[in-house]
Amino acid sequence: MKVVLFCGGFGMRMRGGADDPVPKPMQLVGPRPLIWHVMRYYAHFGHKEFILCLGYGAAHIKNFFLTYQESVSNDFVIRDGQVQLLASDISDWTITFVDTGLDSAIGERLRRVRHLLEGEEYFLANYADVLTDAPLDEMIDKCVAAGAAASMMIVPPQSSFHCVDVNAAGEVERITPVAKLPLWENGGYFVLSQQVFDLLPPGGDLVEDACGRLAEQGRLVGYQHLGFWKPADTFKERHELDAAYHSGMRPWMVWERNERC
């Protein structure tokens, strides 16, 4: 399946200020940017045709791949002045770069690459800034078997805040961590069919417009994932992922399991 990555937003919570031109998907986790980790995840499951919906910071993303250095994350041998790679990350990937507008909503970015998805009964989509160890094959199979128009990964709330129940007299009756509430939130990993485009108005939003309508119609499946899932919306979250990478505790790098065998 083709993979659509939304990587054109401003990412204001991640950026170091108005003068920081690096887009969020290009923030580093270890020696590689977030978008690389997301793409390696999909490639691990055999999905290696990518469509990048570009906007803010497009030049950084283009330049990263145009000047890609395999030796950064692969072992190699230098013999007689020539570099012989012992492995490769992206040599069998196909990546299409599309300018989808500086201020476009996610749904509009998807609309602008629709022509590149013709003939795809189902395709995959992602925000390019969330890492997980979810079994992608299982997620896809569940959506297809249900005959659903779309599927979205849903995860328990990640907030560390507490909800407080208070009575009319102002007495606190119960304090509950948000993470323990019977709630689920959008995990940012989608399996979509062509039917989604019928519900996307110009300038619309993928979740609020298309997925919201599909949910009302009973045509949206939620894949409940209780394993590793972590966004990188803020510097703190990105730093935590980077620290996990350097500590060797990186469950989202599912491709390493095969490499260790």
| pLDDT single digits (tens) 246-256 | 999 999 999 98
User: In which domain, by residue range, is 162 found?
Assistant: 2-260
| pLDDT single digits (tens) 198-236 | 999 999 999 999 999 999 999 999 999 999 999 998 889
Per-residue confidence (pLDDT) for residue 145, from 0 to 100: 97
In CATH, what number is assigned to the domain containing residue 233? 3.90.550.10
- Give the pLDDT mean for 67-90: 87
Per-residue confidence (pLDDT) for residue 17, from 0 to 100: 47
| pLDDT single digits (tens) 104-146 | 999 999 999 999 999 999 999 999 999 999 999 999 999 999 9
Confidence of residue 15 (pLDDT cuts 50, 70, 90): very low
- Give the pLDDT mean for 76-93: 88
Per-residue confidence (pLDDT) for residue 22, from 0 to 100: 81
Percent of the chain with pLDDT over 90: 70
Confidence of residue 261 (pLDDT cuts 50, 70, 90): very low
State the DSSP string of the chain. -EEEEEE-S--TTTSSSTT----GGGSEETTEEHHHHHHHHHHHTT--EEEEEE-TTHHHHHHHHHT--GGGTS-EEEETTEEEES--SSTT-EEEEEE--SS--HHHHHHTTGGGGTT-SEEEEE-SSEEE---HHHHHHHHHHHT-SEEEEEE------EEEEE-TTS-EEEEEEGGGSS--EEEEEEEEEGGGGGG--TT--IIIIIIHHHHHTT-EEEEE--S-EEE--SHHHHHHHHHHHHHT--TT-THHHHHH-
Per-residue confidence (pLDDT) for residue 207, from 0 to 100: 95
Is a pLDDT exceeding 60 seen at residue 59?
yes
Is a pLDDT exceeding 60 seen at residue 173?
yes
Report pTM.
0.88
**Domains: count for the chain:** 1
